[in-house]
Every structure is written in structure tokens, then in C-alpha cells.
């Protein structure tokens, strides 16, 4: 694991310390790692949404379409709901 040192104004340092204390993180590093992971997830989701928005529609999302999805879930073996 690599080390990275950052400088924070006192107000941000106090905020980080408060979050660590109130939210059950062991260290400020754990808190910062969690923030970075969330940002990575947010960027990945944004990328997927943009790709979806740019893709051509394949099947209209009608009430019948959603009912067919529900039927597939109902018929799937318990514990397995993959398409």
C-alpha cells in the first residue's frame, strides 16, 4: 500500500475527525478511502448512464415488458434471479 500525505485547513481536519468519530471509522485514512471508493462508484455509474443514454432503444418498456420481467423472477429458483 502506498502512502499519500495531504494538507487540510483546520476546519476540514476537524470535519474529518468528527466523521471518523461519529461514523465508526478507525482512522482518517479509512474515511478518505471510503470517499474515494464512493467517487469511483459514482463515476462508473455516470459512465454507464451516459452509455445507456447514447445507445439505441432495443425493446419498448411497456407494462407488458415489466410484467414479463416479474414472471421471470417468480419462475427463477430461490436464491437465483439472474436473467
In a domain, 48, yes or no: yes
In the chain (83 residues long), the average pLDDT of successive 10-residue segments reads 95 98 97 98 98 87 92 85 53
pTM recorded for the entire structure: 0.66
In a domain, 32, yes or no: yes
User: Domain limits at 49?
Assistant: 10-75
In a domain, 15, yes or no: yes
Per-residue pLDDT, 10: 98
Per-residue pLDDT, 57: 80
In a domain, 40, yes or no: yes
In a domain, 3, yes or no: no
Between CA 32 and CA 26 the distance in angstroms is 11
Name residue, grid cell 454507464. Answer: 48
Per-residue pLDDT, 81: 54
> In degrees rounded to 5, what are phi and psi of residue 9?
-65, 155
Per-residue pLDDT, 61: 85
In a domain, 2, yes or no: no
In a domain, 20, yes or no: yes
Number of domains the chain is built from: 1
Per-residue pLDDT, 41: 98
Exposed/middle/buried for residue 32 (C-beta within 10 Å: 0-12, 13-18, 19+): middle
In a domain, 38, yes or no: yes
Amino acid at each position: 500500500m502506498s502512502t499519500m500525505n495531504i494538507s487540510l485547513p483546520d476546519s476540514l481536519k476537524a470535519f474529518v475527525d468528527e466523521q471518523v468519530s461519529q461514523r465508526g471509522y478507525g482512522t482518517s485514512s479509512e474515511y478518505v478511502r471510503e470517499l474515494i471508493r464512493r467517487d469511483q462508484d459514482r463515476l462508473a455509474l455516470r459512465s454507464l448512464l451516459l452509455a445507456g443514454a447514447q445507445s439505441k432503444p432495443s425493446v419498448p418498456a411497456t407494462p407488458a415488458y415489466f410484467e414479463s420481467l416479474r414472471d421471470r423472477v417468480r419462475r427463477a429458483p430461490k436464491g437465483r434471479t439472474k436473467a
